[in-house]
Chains A and B, each alone.
Chain A
Amino acid sequence: MKHFAFINTPSVELERPPAAAAVISACAKSVGWTCDQFDFNLHLNHAVDSDTWQELEQYWRCKRLELTAATKQKLDQVLGDFVDNIVSTNPDMIGVTVFSRMSVMAAWVVLQALRAKYKGKIVIGGSGSYAWPCSLPSMDTNSLDSSTFADYAHKVGLVNYFIQGDGEEAFVELLNGNETYPGINGQPPKQIENLNTLPLPDYTGIEPVNYFYTYEPGIYITASRGCVRKCSFCNIPEMWPKFKNRTADNVIQEIINGKKKFDVNLFHFTDSLLNGNMKVWREINYHLKELKQSDPDFKDIKYMGQFICRTRLDQTESDWELMAAGGANLFVTGIESFSHRVRKHMGKNYSNADIDFHFKMSAWYGIKNISLMFIGYPTETLEDHECNIEFLHRYRKYALSGVIHAVRWGYTGMFRESGKLEKFGDVKIITDPDFSKKFNNLPQGIRDIALGFGWINEFNPTLDLRERIRRRLELHEVSVKLGWPQTRSREELQILYNILENLNRNQVDGQDFEELETLLDFH
């Protein structure tokens, strides 16, 4: 029997076992392979003290450029032992997940250590594999090179295969020796048609209770892929052109399995949106409600996940009652802007009255929300910006009561390509061809954010970088004054500061802002 080893890399949260490990393990077993799961993220956390962990987290997330000698030595030792342990199991193939752009640096370090001791086949996957490789220490450039981390790791021989797009079927094909299946090594990926055919995730060996949960142990679950909307700024439609969902019965089976096998009550959906297919969504909640009411073992089941604000025509109050009864606990909702005009351009056609209804229902039924917002959208005018300030005043009670658990304002708009935005009209993006040259010593991990800032909309020219950042600060300050909890505000402001400081230091050192404005206002 062939053997597969799967490695989870930092930097991902320690909240719950990595879903990719459980899914890949189940896929490998479904075709007769054995599979061991190795969570280097958790292993490392156990192996180092708190200060070292913090330093490593900053390094993985590229907030610092280098490790101290002591931390580097500790990392080398822990990683070396970890790799030795994996290699000693004689795997026929090793998989490494690159979960997000925050995992790129760690994946790079792990792959290097792994390749030094393992000459067999290595495969990587995960959405971080699409990230720019410019965050890596070996890429001493601010280049807008369009290749991905996966391309780069493949080119330099660290990996034999990379899988992009839906991974399960491609992975199974790869284990079966088919190296040319869609999604493998740059072949255009093929979206999985029927998600019901995928095996249920296998968390054996990475039990949820062994993770460091903020509130309670839980597991991830995926009920759908893709989105029913095609918002102008979002790359989900490129990753999953069609919205596909599992049937309600299939989802409920996984929840029952998760509860019975791993004794968890919290299910964290990884879907881009929970309420994409209202018929299926109602069925899921109906079954959950029945389950919770009929079997005391399931009465505490709850769930969280991303959600879309829908129009009043799409829903009734009874939908909210049903979701609450089904265990709805937290929705992460991309409201994006309180300006209807901006949302309409984004491709979101719900009104402010619909947002009112969304929060009113959440408030009545005790469902928490995290509101994701987008400052500095290319068409955003001062009037639109004022709408976002109104949002903070209008919904203050919801923030204080926890109905809006937190708001996230983000980094302001970043664009690498503008074609999609321009299709909606009122936008002609001009990117500064020399923008990358204005950074001489940009910290690696923030290059992809910084280089996305060099744009302006010809039809809304006053919204230059300075104005976008000004609006970002104003919304932060009003949030603070009104007592709104914000998530990741320090992290985001720190990154913005680092980018601007680098621009300032390298381009207009000792000069006044008017010159910086000239520099940025390049249109």
Chain B
Amino acid sequence: MNQFTLETHASWGQTAPQIRINNQILTIPEGTNLIELPAQDLETLTIDFFSKQESDTIVNESGQIVADTEWRITTIWCDHIRLESWFRNDAVYRPKYFSGFLENYPDAPAEITAPYQFNFCGTINWQWRGDFWEWYFHEKNSREVINFLDKDPDRVWKFRGNTESCDDLVTGIRNILNL
């Protein structure tokens, strides 16, 4: 089971943003807050932002937005371990635009990667394969940029560490000691 925690920053228009995760509904408070999501054992995390109405966007007489229901995720933890920012930025946001908005912006994207803010209802989704932490380990390592490997090819095992089994040496030592 994995337990995700979000640090959110939200503002409210008429109503608070509400999200649904695995049939559980959570309300996102105004300002900066921590939201504990229900523990789950899936290879995906999907947040369904479902509550916003057009009336949540409040405009003044000159048409400027003075208040709105919108929110963003600033940090994510899994099992109380802070995830690197690439995980947050790997989210895929599929907004369900208001019909009025689509009339003005017919080319609005159906999918937004690395979404900064959620202004429309829709789903925010992450996917991985197998055990979350094993997937995260490989994904994290594959994204890590290690400079000047040509100048110092050993710096991966020196500085980053590796999981090399060193079977030749282990076997050699075992043979010598008859272990």
Contact = CB atoms under 8 A, between A and B. Distances in A.
Interface in B128-179: 133-134, 136-137, 140, 145-148, 150-155, 157-166, 169-170, 172-174, 176-179
B77 interface: yes
A406 interface: yes
Interface residues on B, range: 35 or more
A310 interface: no
Interface residues of A, number: 57
Contacts of B155: 214
Given A212-B148, A364-B82, A483 B134 contact: yes
Contacts of A476: 166, 170
A401 to B, nearest CB: 5
B159 A398 contact: no
Interface string A428-444: 00000000000000000
Given A50-B153, A364-B80, A486 B173 contact: no
B152 A14 contact: yes
Interface stretch (A136-144, A273-281, A284-292, A465-473): A465-473
B166 A489 contact: yes
A485 interface: yes
B81 interface: yes
B36 interface: no
Interface stretch (A91-99, A185-193, A491-499): A491-499
A213 B158 CA distance: 13
Given A213-B147, A485-B163, A489-B164, A397 B158 contact: no
B177 A469 contact: yes
A496 B173 CA distance: 8
Most central of B137, B157, B173 by chain A CB within 10 Å? B173
B90 interface: no
Contacts, number: 137
Contacts of B157: 487-491
Nearest to B151: A212
B43 interface: no
A130 interface: no
B111 interface: no
A504 interface: yes
Contact of A405 (B83, B161, B176): B161
Contacts of A383: none
Contact of B77 (A364, A487, A488, A490): A364
Given A470-B177, A483-B137, A365 B147 contact: no
Interface of A, secondary structure class, is helix
Contacts of B80: 360, 363-364
Interface string A395-413: 0111111110111000000
A480 B148 contact: no
A489 B161 CA distance: 8
A406 B137 CA distance: 12
A516 interface: yes
A280 to B, nearest CB: 27
Contacts of A479: 163
Contacts of B161: 370, 405-407, 485-487
B166 to A, nearest CB: 5
Nearest to A496: B173
A516 B179 CA distance: 12
B173 A493 contact: yes
A496 B179 CA distance: 15
Given A212-B152, A485-B161, A489-B157, 10 more contacts: A13-B152, A50-B153, A212-B147, A363-B80, A406-B160, A483-B163, A486-B162, A500-B173, A500-B176, A504-B176
Interface of A: 13-15, 45, 50, 53-54, 57, 212-215, 360, 363-366, 370, 396-403, 405-407, 466, 469-470, 473, 476-477, 479-480, 483-491, 493-494, 496-497, 500-501, 503-504, 512-513, 516
Interface of B: 77-84, 133-134, 136-137, 140, 145-148, 150-155, 157-166, 169-170, 172-174, 176-179
11 contacts: A13-B152, A54-B153, A400-B133, A403-B81, A405-B161, A487-B158, A488-B158, A490-B169, A500-B176, A516-B176, A516-B177
